[in-house]
Amino acid sequence: MGKPKGEPRASWVEKETFEEKKKRARTILRRLEKLYPRTRTALDYTNPFELLVATVLSAQSTDKMVNIITVTLFQKYRSPEDFLKAKPGELEQDIKASGFFNQKAKSIRGLSQKLISDFGGEVPSTMEELLTLPGVARKTANVVLGNAFGKNEGIAVDTHVHRLSWRFGFSDHDDTNKVEQDLMKLFPRDKWFNVSHLLIDHGRNVCFARNPNCAECVVNELCPAARVPAVRKKA
């Protein structure tokens, strides 16, 4: 997921101490904060439930496509009860453009039922409770907690975050939960919410999966995977 296998990476990253890596990571964070001062989720929503559903739909899809779908979806389905009232195949058709629509429809129905039976129809605001919902793993839970409730429980790892974590030398893991744990060790807790958004923004605008624009990157001399000649500067 997202990790650019086979890409060259400078050998100096392997010789870094943890403290050196943490210092470099926080310098990268500061520069990205200046570059993307208004970073936020790209998903459109008006309440925690809409964000939860939109995040489920965003798996293996794009936020742009999800926003197109939810313009009409959230007019038609305004509550967990509404999703459960949908006729067989109706919800699948409504979300078909997001891909993997059968599984996503199953997850949405399942989490809607769970919300009604266990949480009074409201989206819970803790990691432990969110993870009990069908179709919800740590990435989705982190997105909801950070954006809807302002909580820093972790770092949402999507394809962009995974790719940049490897290129920056922050994590070598394939498992996204392990990538998240590596990132959480490098950044202060009060920054966790923004780390994910900043890496996503940079992945979308500069550090593309194919042909990353290293020459225009504000952190290229701090990146062991940069494809431009650069002498590392002191952080």
Residue 227 in any domain: the answer is no
pLDDT at 234 over 60: no
Tokens coding 159: 């394809």
Q: Which residue has the tokens 């302002």?
A: 150
Q: Which amino acid is at 97?
A: A
Residue 71 in any domain: the answer is yes
Whether residues 173 and 139 share a domain: the answer is no
Residue 235 in any domain: the answer is no
Whether residues 105 and 67 share a domain: the answer is yes
Name the residue among 31, 70, 76, 39 with its Cα closest to residue 54: 70
End position of a domain, from candidates 126, 149, 172 = 149
In tens, the pLDDT along 34-86 reads 999 999 999 999 999 999 999 999 999 999 999 999 999 999 999 999 999 99
In tens, the pLDDT along 2-13 reads 667 678 898 999
Question: Which pLDDT value is given to residue 231?
Answer: 45
CA atoms of 189 and 172, how far apart (whole Å)? 21
Active site residue 201: no
Q: Which of 94, 114, 139, 201 is catalytic?
A: 139
Residue 147 CB coordination number (10 Å): 19
Active site residue 158: yes
Tokens coding 21: 């890596």
Question: Which pLDDT value is given to residue 8?
Answer: 87
Q: Which of 63, 94, 158, 182 is catalytic?
A: 158
Q: Look at the alpha carbons of 166, 172, 173, 179 in this order and tell me if their dihedral is positive or negative.
A: negative
End position of a domain, from candidates 95, 125, 149 = 149
